[in-house]
């Protein structure tokens, strides 16, 4: 069940490449953006891979950590938060669901909600 909206970021795809696959296309994408998380201005950077599924949807996973960094230097984050510091420590132990929408120009919107 979706809980409170935790954050929203707007950004840009900064790199993309095709990966070897056993059939359907597989991509690696790097993106970064700025926005807020729990009301705190922050930026996010992520590299992830995604693979097209037979039904046309994409399945993906992040490659390594995807940090969320405030202008004070507090950082950490992925879909399940742990090790968050400073103002972001409220995120520790939260599992989040997200949407990542990208248009044809590589502009993206990343929204996160608490999973309850």
Q: How far is 82 from 35, CA to CA, in rounded Å?
A: 20
Question: What whole-number percentage of the chain has pLDDT above 70?
Answer: 87
pLDDT in tens, 38-90: 999 998 888 888 898 899 888 887 776 666 666 776 556 446 777 888 988 88
| This prediction's pTM | 0.74
Given this model, what pLDDT does residue 77 score? 43
Residues in a beta bridge with 80: 95
Check whether 110 has a pLDDT greater than 50. yes
């Amino acid at each position: 069940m979706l809980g409170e909206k935790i954050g929203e970021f707007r950004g840009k795809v900064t790199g993309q490449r095709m990966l070897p696959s056993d059939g359907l296309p597989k991509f690696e994408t790097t993106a970064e953006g700025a926005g807020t998380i729990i009301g705190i201005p922050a930026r996010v950077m992520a590299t992830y891979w995604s693979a097209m599924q037979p039904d046309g949807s994409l399945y993906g996973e992040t490659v390594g950590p995807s940090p969320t960094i405030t202008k004070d230097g507090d950082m950490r984050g992925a879909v399940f938060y742990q090790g968050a510091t400073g103002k972001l420590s409220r995120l520790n132990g939260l599992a989040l669901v997200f949407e990542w929408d990208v248009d044809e120009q590589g502009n993206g919107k990343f929204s996160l909600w608490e999973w309850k």
